[in-house]
Amino acid sequence: MSALVEYWPELLEGLGMTVLITVLGLVLTVVVAFAAGLARLSRLWVLRAPAYLFIEIFRGTSLVVQLFWFFYALPFLGIEFTPIAAAVLVLGLNEGSYAAEIVRGTISSRPKGQAEACIALGMSPAQRMRRVLIPQSIPAMLPSFGNVFVDLLKATALVSLVTISDLTFAAQTARNFTGETAAIFSTILVVYFALAMLLAWFTRFLERRFAIDRTAKPSRRPMIGGGQGAIPV
Task: Tell me how far apart the alpha carbons of residues 159 and 108 are, in angstroms, rounded to a whole number.
Answer: 35
> Which of 81, 60, 51, 52 is CA-nearest to residue 69?
81
Give CA angle at 105 (54, 26), nearest 5°. Answer: 60
Yes or no: say if 38 and 49 are a contact pair by the CB < 8 Å rule: no
User: Rounded to whole angstroms, how far apart are CA atoms 113 and 193?
Assistant: 42
Residue 12 belongs to what H/E stretch? helix 8-41
Residue 228 has pLDDT above 70, yes or no: no
Give backbone dihedrals phi and psi of 121, rounded to 5 degrees, phi first: -85, 0
Residue 132 CA to residue 130 CA, distance in Å, equals 6
pLDDT at 154: 95
Angle between helical axes of 8-41 and 45-60 (0-180°, round to 10): 150
Q: Tell me which residue of 59, 54, 57, 60 sits closest to 35, measured CA to CA.
A: 54
The answer regarding whether domain 7-110+121-213 maps to CATH 1.10.3720.10 reads yes
Q: How confident is the model at residue 222 (pLDDT cuts 50, 70, 90)?
A: very low
pLDDT tens per residue across span 13-69? 999 999 999 999 999 999 999 999 999 998 899 999 999 999 999 999 999 999 999
Neighbours of 86 (CB within 10 A): 24
Residue boundaries of the structural domains of the chain = 7-110+121-213
DSSP per position, 119-163: HHTT--HHHHIIIIIHHHHHHHHHHHHHHHHHHHHHHGGGGGGGT
Cβ atoms within 10 Å, residue 22: 22
Poorest-confidence range of 4-8, 26-30, 184-188?
Answer: 4-8
> What's the whole-model pTM score?
0.84
Packing angle, helices 134-155 and 83-108, rounded to 10: 140
pLDDT, tens digit, 9 for 90 and up, residues 109-151: 887 777 777 778 777 777 878 888 888 888 889 999 999 999 9
Q: Give CA–CA dist 110/225, Å, rounded.
A: 40
- The helix-helix angle for 45-60 and 83-108 (nearest 10°) equals 120
Exposure of 224 by Cβ count < 10 A (0-12 exposed, 13-18 middle, 19+ buried)?
exposed
